[in-house]
């Protein structure tokens, strides 16, 4: 009876402590976010073709060296490697090749939480990025239908950039009300978790669980300021050069961004994601 009483007392003390002081360290706290899509990049070889496509070469700075070569975008031991490399193909006149993949036409979503665990590359001219673009240009060509840059990093910078692009920001040049970008510290050489929480009235940005800034929807400014009510897809790329990152130092190549996983969550009452273009 004494042993039983002691156990009962300890249990009551434990319950009292949880009520008064909250959960103990390491306890799992229930969240209202529900995982709706992820890629853990298991195995080796080409990224899963059910979800990812090579972005293809385009005239934009970030895409002018994009390659569909596995050397630039491949899975190795359960990790995605996106590389910027010298171009050794003499039949192709570009100086570099870069890894660029997206879920366009295969997975897109509206509202929710995106988390990406990644280690960013570095070098003069290096420009890794994790970002979202509209599945359809409902409000017009860039930037009128929006762009959400979850993270970008340049060269050897020890900060990252998180940015929103809209007609209001890039055409009308309204860049202070509200603020459209932020810089944040991160852990160079290490894996970091870069996140976005996308609501009908704001975009909240995070690095390693700490909020860095928020971009709100402003009443009365319309879609020029807030085109973020449509489906967006995910882009991962390790770009080189361009007007922002500057000239590439070939001695610093190859550079690479490693991505451990990408995860998308939504609230229980939201069901606005697409899988292989099926609602």
Closest CA to 242 of 72, 64, 123: 64
Instruction: Specify whether 152 is catalytic.
Output: yes
Given the residues 74, 135, 152, 167, the one annotated as active site: 152
Residues facing residue 195 across a β-bridge: 115, 206
Helix (H, G, I), strand (E, B) or coil at 147: strand
The span from the CA of 275 to the CA of 254, in Å, is: 34
Q: How far is CA 206 from CA 113, 135, 139, 164, in A?
A: 11, 23, 27, 14
Given the residues 74, 115, 135, 147, the one annotated as active site: 147
**Cα-Cα end-to-end distance for the chain:** 61
The span from the CA of 163 to the CA of 184, in Å, is: 11
Helix (H, G, I), strand (E, B) or coil at 68: coil
Residues designated catalytic: 147, 152
């Amino acid at each position: 009876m004494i042993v039983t009483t002691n156990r009962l007392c300890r249990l009551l003390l434990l319950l009292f402590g949880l009520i008064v002081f909250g959960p103990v360290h390491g306890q799992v706290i229930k969240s209202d976010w529900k995982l709706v899509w992820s890629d853990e990049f298991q195995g080796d070889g080409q990224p899963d073709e059910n979800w990812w496509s090579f972005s293809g070469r385009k005239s934009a700075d970030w895409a002018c060296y994009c390659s569909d070569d596995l050397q630039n975008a491949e899975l190795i031991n359960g990790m995605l490697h996106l590389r910027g490399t010298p171009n050794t193909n003499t039949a192709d006149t570009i100086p570099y090749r870069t890894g660029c993949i997206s879920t366009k036409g295969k997975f897109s979503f509206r509202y929710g939480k995106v988390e990406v665990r990644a280690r960013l590359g570095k070098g003069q001219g290096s420009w890794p990025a994790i970002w979202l673009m509209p599945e359809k240009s409902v409000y017009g060509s860039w930037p009128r239908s929006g762009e959400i840059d979850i993270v970008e990093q340049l060269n050897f910078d020890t900060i990252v950039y998180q940015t929103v692009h809209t007609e209001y920001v890039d055409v009308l040049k309204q860049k202070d009300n509200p603020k459209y970008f932020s810089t944040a510290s991160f852990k160079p050489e290490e894996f970091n978790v870069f996140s976005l929480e996308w609501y009908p009235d704001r975009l909240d940005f995070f690095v390693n669980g700490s909020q860095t800034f928020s971009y709100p929807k402003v009443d009365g400014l319309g879609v020029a300021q807030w085109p973020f009510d449509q489906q967006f897809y995910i882009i991962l790329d390790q770009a080189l050069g361009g007007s922002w990152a500057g000239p590439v130092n070939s001695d610093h190549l190859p550079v690479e961004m490693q991505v451990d996983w990408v995860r998308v969550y939504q609230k229980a009452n939201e069901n606005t994601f697409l899988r292989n273009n099926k609602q």
